[in-house]
């Protein structure tokens, strides 16, 4: 489809770490890549784009993420048969204003002036029909040069969101008409929030926008010209890496770390807020996830190996171990393969502080999962000691790890499912179920899956240094330059 000035290009921001949903969501694999809606197997990222299907003028998206998540993002869009217009890699996080500036400049470079629909990758919207209806209304304002933001109609006195104050009251005849913005309000106290929700001029700040690419560039030049200048240089010096656009780090780092609200929306005279009442949630805490989950007649959400009696209003999820609850109420209990969370549902917003404490105390569980995803598949650390480590490695059909060598460790591989093609110092051999091989220290080697089914093998490492940094890479199908994975 040819891009026109009336095309809508979704810009999906996927750089968040989602620490408030720890231990499911961590820096290595945050919530936008998880299927948190119990009614579907689609991830939040996939649903962010799929709920737009059917919009007039809809184009494939521009995705913005960090380097560590690039293959996860690409794979999840491959799963829904969508080819992004660009996957832009931020070398460092600089908040939403620089990210949106890069997307707008990239869109303009395509030769037209499309509408940009700015979306976070980790939101949930229940009423897709209503959402698309409001987007359609927003197009008229955006085509007039307005910067439209979507204000969520409050359902409670929420203190975890910022608020937007409109200059006038929405009319009863047309509750989705665009309203001129008076001001933005930071996250309020409970007392202030209770007053705000009684006034129909106030909506929650969703962080979603619709505007012409030229409109946002013009306002950024007016209020934050350094962002546009540095982003232009970062794009001019970007590097194409397979399907990714890698921004030039030195220039992008010079951008101030600032949100679009502060950089532009709080200063502009052309801001419009459109009320949105479509079952929106940013799933920002375990309490909000419990709110949107399917529960039984006792108010419990149960997933995995869980048995409860005389318990109510709990969120109970087990990935491995059996959870037994008796006489419990308002609890979040989440079991993963390396951590267990037990929290009062009404105190779950404090989990972010716990994650900061874990990270500052060098607990790897604060940032990393036991299961690590790579472009060729994934590996899970099963058990480890001081000089040894056991992993389960899964390799996708027709995928290969890099041709590599280790200075400090040897490896034993045992195939448990599928067929493995092993290359050692230039010699190749096929291994099938229950067959094994030894990779001595210093051996140049590669593991591949030549078959049509997933390859699973057990890897036993032994040596003086078992960190993933001990990889010298010679060849790689995925363009990875650094010696990780």
> What is the per-residue DSSP string for 145-156?
T-EEEEEEPPSS
CB 90 within 8 A of CB 64: yes
pLDDT at position 390 is: 97
Span of 239-248, 281-290, 400-409, 473-482 with lowest mean pLDDT: 473-482
Mean pLDDT of the chain: 93
CA 351 to chain centre: 18
Give residue limits of the domains in the chain.
Answer: 8-281, 286-356, 371-475
- CATH, domain range 371-475: 2.60.120.10
Share of the chain above pLDDT 90, in %: 86
Pairing between β-strand 147-152 and β-strand 202-212 as defined by DSSP bridges:
antiparallel
Output the pTM of the full model: 0.91
Cβ count within 10 A of residue 119: 24
Confidence of residue 484 (pLDDT cuts 50, 70, 90): very low
Provide the pLDDT for residue 242.
75
Average pLDDT, integer, range 199-210: 95
4: pLDDT strictly greater than 80: no
Q: What is the pLDDT of residues 249-296, one digit of tens each?
A: 999 999 999 999 999 999 999 999 999 999 999 998 999 999 999 999
Residue 49 DSSP SS3:
helix
pLDDT, position 51: 97
List, for residues 429-467, the tens digit of each pLDDT value. 999 999 999 999 999 999 999 999 999 999 999 999 998
pLDDT > 70: what percent of the chain? 97
The pLDDT of residue 424 is 97
Tens of pLDDT, residues 42-65: 999 999 999 999 999 999 999 999
Q: Identify the CA nearest to 439 among candidates 414, 419, 416, 472.
A: 414
Q: What's the pLDDT tens digit per position in 304-321?
A: 999 999 999 999 999 999
| Ranges of H-type helices in 340-447 | 351-360
Question: At 483, is the pLDDT very low, low, confident or very high (cuts 50, 70, 90)?
Answer: very low
pLDDT score, position 479: 79
CATH of 8-281, one of 3.20.20.10, 3.30.70.2700, 3.20.20.70, 3.90.550.10: 3.90.550.10
């Amino acid at each position: 489809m040819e891009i026109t000035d009336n095309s809508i290009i979704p810009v999906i921001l996927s750089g968040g770490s989602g620490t408030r949903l720890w231990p499911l969501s961590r820096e290595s694999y945050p919530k936008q890549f998880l299927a948190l809606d119990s009614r579907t197997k689609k991830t939040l990222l996939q649903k962010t784009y799929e709920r737009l299907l059917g919009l007039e003028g809809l184009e494939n998206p521009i995705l913005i993420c960090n380097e560590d998540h690039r293959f996860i993002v690409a794979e999840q869009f491959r799963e829904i048969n969508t080819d992004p217009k660009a996957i832009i890699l931020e070398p460092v996080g600089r908040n939403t204003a620089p990210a949106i500036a890069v997307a707008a400049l990239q869109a303009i470079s395509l030769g037209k002036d499309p509408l940009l629909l700015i979306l976070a990758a980790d939101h949930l919207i229940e009423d897709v029909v209503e959402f698309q209806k409001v987007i359609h209304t927003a197009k008229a304002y955006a085509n007039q040069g307005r910067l439209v933001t979507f204000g969520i109609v409050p359902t409670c006195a929420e203190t975890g969101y910022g608020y937007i104050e409109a200059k006038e009251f929405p009319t009863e005849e047309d509750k989705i008409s665009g309203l001129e913005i008076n001001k933005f309000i930071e996250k309020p106290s409970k007392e202030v929030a209770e007053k705000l929700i009684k006034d129909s001029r106030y909506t929650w700040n969703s962080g979603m926008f619709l505007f012409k690419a030229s409109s946002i560039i013009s306002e950024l030049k007016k209020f934050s010209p350094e962002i546009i200048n540095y982003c232009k240089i970062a794009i001019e010096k970007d590097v194409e890496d397979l399907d990714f656009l890698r921004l030039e780090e030195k220039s992008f780092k010079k951008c101030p770390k600032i949100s679009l609200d502060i950089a532009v929306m709080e200063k502009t005279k052309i801001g419009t807020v459109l009320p949105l009442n479509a079952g929106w949630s940013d799933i920002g805490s375990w309490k909000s996830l419990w709110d949107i989950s399917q529960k039984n007649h006792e108010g419990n959400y149960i997933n995995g190996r869980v048995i409860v009696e005389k318990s109510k209003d709990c969120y109970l999820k087990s990935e491995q171990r059996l959870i037994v609850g008796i006489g419990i109420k308002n609890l979040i209990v989440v079991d993963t393969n390396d951590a267990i969370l037990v929290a009062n549902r009404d105190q779950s917003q404090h989990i972010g502080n716990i994650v900061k404490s874990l990270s500052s105390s060098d607990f790897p569980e604060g940032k990393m999962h036991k299961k690590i995803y790579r472009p060729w598949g994934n590996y899970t650390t099963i058990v480890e000691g001081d000089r040894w480590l056991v992993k389960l490695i899964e390799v996708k059909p027709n995928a290969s790890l890099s041709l590599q060598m280790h200075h400090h460790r040897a490896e034993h591989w045992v195939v448990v499912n599928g067929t493995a093609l092993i290359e050692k110092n230039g010699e190749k051999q096929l291994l099938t179920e229950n067959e094994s091989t030894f990779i001595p220290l210093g051996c140049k080697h590669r593991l591949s899956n030549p078959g049509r089914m997933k390859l699973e093998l057990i890897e036993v490492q032994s040596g003086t240094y078992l960190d993933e940094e001990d990889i010298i890479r010679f060849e790689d199908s995925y363009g990875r330059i650094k010696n990780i994975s």
